[in-house]
Structures are given as structure tokens and as C-alpha cells.
Structure 1
């Protein structure tokens, strides 16, 4: 059931940067034929974020606490509160199997979140 009450804070328009995994396989033919052959190196590649020289990334939630990493008077505080709520909802909706933390980024882009899980 949805509430007809307006939210107390504006809901920010955020997204995670596009990302992918690049796997470089072993170049030695002996390793490629082997049944135990696997990736030689793996890299996570993220979308480039153009941040102006006078701007900084904002760490909304640290990975050591579920509370906002910003003070009440910081312009990004409401975004941090929103991300705290999202963090809690994700944890509950995954039946306590996943916990996302370390929300940080610039503008509407989030990057480098930590996703923790345990069987």
C-alpha cells in the first residue's frame, strides 16, 4: 500500500556508474589447453566521471557505519539520509542476505559501493 503523504525530503535522482569486468586470459598456449587454465588478470572497469577541478567526491555513508557520513548542515545530507533508507530497505528485502554500504560519488552518479553478503 502506498501513502499519499509527500516525502519529508526530496528523493534524489541517482544511479550507479556503468561498470563491467575485463578478463585477460593467459597468453601461454600451454596454460590455455590446461583444464586448470583460468584468468591471468581481471579488472573492474567503470564509466569515467568528469568531476570539475574544484569539486570533490562525496562519501554519503561510510562502510563502517549505517549512519550518514555528513553533518546536518551539509548540502548532501538529505541524499545521505535517502541512501541510509535505501540501505535498510535493501537489507530487509534481501532477507538480510545483502548489505550495501560505502555510498559515494559525484552529482547523480554513485560509484564503488561495497556489497556484503553471507550464506
Structure 2
């Protein structure tokens, strides 16, 4: 740890790898060259940055629409978020060049009762069918957010792969 730094959250470190075992993911993992790895991680972090911005834009739209109504909606609007993340570059010593790169993400805390849910898959236009009523409501809401994002960006972009912990 550096001067005046202290851990605030539990994190995970992610690195891309070349899938040498198409049937089963298992070690040893073949790594990309540092330049390629850094580029892959940069694109992943950038996608997360834009997804957070799109979700924030969506909530601003919803909040503005709800604020101007005389009667509140007859349902609760879910307040969801993306994990906090960033890039981490490690040096073998302070005067050297980068020797490894990671995507750092906040850890999603789960217990044995928690479920990690795929709400909308980017390979299918239909939201995932879920048995849990709350998960179904969140899935419907996320499909709605896609429509807002599509319209507000002039049909250029929307978040296509929603997944996470059921709160």
C-alpha cells in the first residue's frame, strides 16, 4: 500500500486469457502479450464506463418524468447500479515499465442464499425467463431501460447484457 492509502472495499482482479481448452476452462492459462492484454482490459473498462453513463442517463430521464406527475407510479422503481471498477498497472519496481495489467472490480458479496442472475442476455432480444417475482420485475424494468437508452441515443446504443446479484 502506498502513503495514505487504505482498503475500503473487497475487490477482484481480472486478466484476460487465451482459451486453450475449448471443452473445459482450466489451468494453465495462456496470457496475451502485455500490449494486447492492456488493450483488451482498456476496452472492457471503457464499456463499463459507458454502461454506467447510460444507466445514469436512464435514471435521470425516469426521475424527471416521475417528478412532473401528480400521481406516483403504482410500482417501485428499482435502483440498480454497475460495480465500481478501474484499471491497475503493476510495476516490478518504481523505475521500471508496466509488467502486468488488471481490471479491478468491486467484489459482489454473495452468500449461499444469494443468486447471481442473468436478466437480459446479449445474444437474445427477449429477456430471460425467471421464476422469482422480484427478478421478473427487475427484468421488465431493465428491458424498459433499453428502450429509453435506444430512443435517447437516437438508436445508437443500449445496454444489452444485464446481469448481477438479486437484491
TM-score higher than 0.5 here? yes
Pairwise CA RMSD: 2.8
Cα pair distance change 1:10/1:49, threshold 3 Å: same
Is contact 1:87-1:99 (8 Å) kept? yes
What is the CA-CA distance between 1:81 and the residue it aligns to? 0.5
Alignment of 1:49 with 2:108, yes or no, is yes
* Superimposed CA distance per residue, residues 55-74 of structure 1 (whole angstroms, 9 cap, x where no aligned partner): 22011111112332124764
What is the CA-CA distance between 1:52 and the residue it aligns to? 0.6
Distance in structure 2 (CA, Å) of the matches to 1:95 and 1:43: 34
- The structure whose residues are more often helix, as a share, is 2
Aligned residue for 2:101, secondary structure, equals: strand
Alignment of 1:9 with 2:63, yes or no, is no
Cα pair distance change 1:3/1:66, threshold 3 Å: farther
* Superimposed CA distance per residue, residues 38-97 of structure 1 (whole angstroms, 9 cap, x where no aligned partner): x65432211011101132201111111233212476431011111111112112212222
Distance in structure 1 (CA, Å) of the matches to 2:129 and 2:74: 18
Is contact 1:10-1:78 (8 Å) kept? no
For structure 1, list consecutive stretches of 5 or more residues without a partner in the other structure.
33-38, 109-119
For these two proteins, the number of residue pairs brought into alignment is 100
